[in-house]
Amino acid sequence: MARILANDGIDPIGKKLLEDAGHTVDTQTVPQDQLIAALQNYDGLTVRSATKVRKDVIDACPNLSLIGRGGVGMDNIDVDYARSKGIAVVNTPAASSLSVAELVFAHLFTGVRFLQDANRKMPAEGAAKFNDLKKAYAKGIELRGKTIGIIGFGRIGRETAAVALGLGMNVLAYDLFPFSGNITLNLTLGIKVDIPVTTVSLEEVIANSDFISLHTPFADKPILGAAEFAAMKPGVGVVNCSRGGTIDEPALIEALNSGKVAFAGLDVFDNEPTPAAALLAHPKISLTPHIGASTNEAQERIGTELANLIIDHFRK
């Protein structure tokens, strides 16, 4: 039976599944500089995004047979190197897609009704200040009937499309790999509705969307920069719940200040965990600290899927 260190935690459901299968699971967080010493006593390691599993750790831990990432992005693991050393590397790519998609709409609803600014400025008392804010926030807009542009039409991009279609929005999607097929809406009472979507060019998405949401992996250079902001509709809203680096942050600030972009919702940043001060203070930006997958439901799915992958691995 395997000894597992869940260094960035694991949902209690996943821990119980592993323990019921006879494995031991330790959930204390070992600091990065003590990880190699601690791992001498373990067969498997699970991480989220905090713990780094680089070449030095892999080389120094010959007992390690499996690295599990609870979630999607494996930027914190030297995946190819680990696999070249015979270590299995697994993740749970689909478990958090809906939660991330719903966070996109939390940011969109926030932006179109100025919630990020209202939360900062609500007066404790005084009709004058209250009425000033009422005037400042008088020109909210509805999402229904508007067009959302989705850049990166993979798991989360498609979940975002499903939520948007359910709200009565139009969807324009772009991906490096063209897609033409149905997006399935899972409605109440078990009703499923298929709506066809065909990807278009990036230029079309940028020029014709009322809101643009990014769902691509980390890129070497930003996908949205000054030229893209210039080509967008005036008053567009931009949301990034993908990875820092996909938006040129100084260009975004400029576009917000000029009024070209009406608002932005950001869950990810260039310099995590220390976002640029200009973003933190900005009245047109709604910010969250990389919490796309941080729902009870997503964490339960992640824990369950990860536990089952680990159980399968050590059964072989």
Which residue numbers are catalytic?
Answer: 243, 272, 290
Residue 1 CB, shortest distance to ligand NAD, in Å, is 31
Site for ligand NAD contains 12 (CB under 6 A): no
Q: Shortest distance, CB of residue 30 to ligand NAD, whole angstroms? A: 23
Q: What is the DSSP string of the chain?
A: --EEEETT---HHHHHHHHHTT-EEE-----GGGHHHHHTT-SEEEE-SSS-B-HHHHHH-TT--EEEESSS--TTB-HHHHHHTT-EEEE-TTTTHHHHHHHHHHHHHHHHTTHHHHHHH--SS-HHHHHHHHHHTTT---STT-EEEEES-SHHHHHHHHHHHHTT-EEEEE-SS--EEEEEEE-GGG-EEEEEEE---HHHHHHH-SEEEE-----SS-SB-HHHHHHSPTTEEEEE-S-TTSB-HHHHHHHHHHTSEEEEEES--TTTTS--HHHHT-TTEEE-SS-TT-SHHHHHHHHHHHHHHHHHHHH-
Least CB distance from residue 88 to ligand NAD, whole Å? 20
* Span 160-219, contacts to ligand NAD by CB under 6 A: 174-177, 215-217, 219
Establish if 66 lies at the interface with ligand NAD (CB under 6 A): no
Site for ligand NAD contains 222 (CB under 6 A): no
Told to check if 152 binds ligand NAD by CB under 6 A, we report yes
**Closest CB to ligand NAD among residues 72, 279:** 72
Q: Of the listed pieces 11-19, 81-89, 93-101, 114-122, which binds ligand NAD according to CB under 6 A? A: 93-101
- Where does residue 118 rank: exposed (0-12), middle (13-18), buried (19+ CB within 10 A)? middle
Nearer to ligand NAD, 100 or 238 (CB): 100
Task: Among 7, 96, 199, 299, indicate the residue that binds ligand NAD (CB under 6 A).
Answer: 96
268 touches ligand NAD (CB under 6 A): yes
Q: Does 149 sit near ligand NAD (CB under 6 A)?
A: no
Stretch that binds ligand NAD, among 62-70, 77-85, 149-157, 250-258 (CB under 6 A): 149-157
Q: Which range, of 62-70, 106-114, 139-147, 288-296, touches ligand NAD by CB under 6 A?
A: 288-296
For ligand NAD, the binding residues (CB under 6 A) are 71-73, 93, 96-97, 100, 151-157, 174-177, 215-217, 219, 223, 241-243, 267-268, 290, 292-293
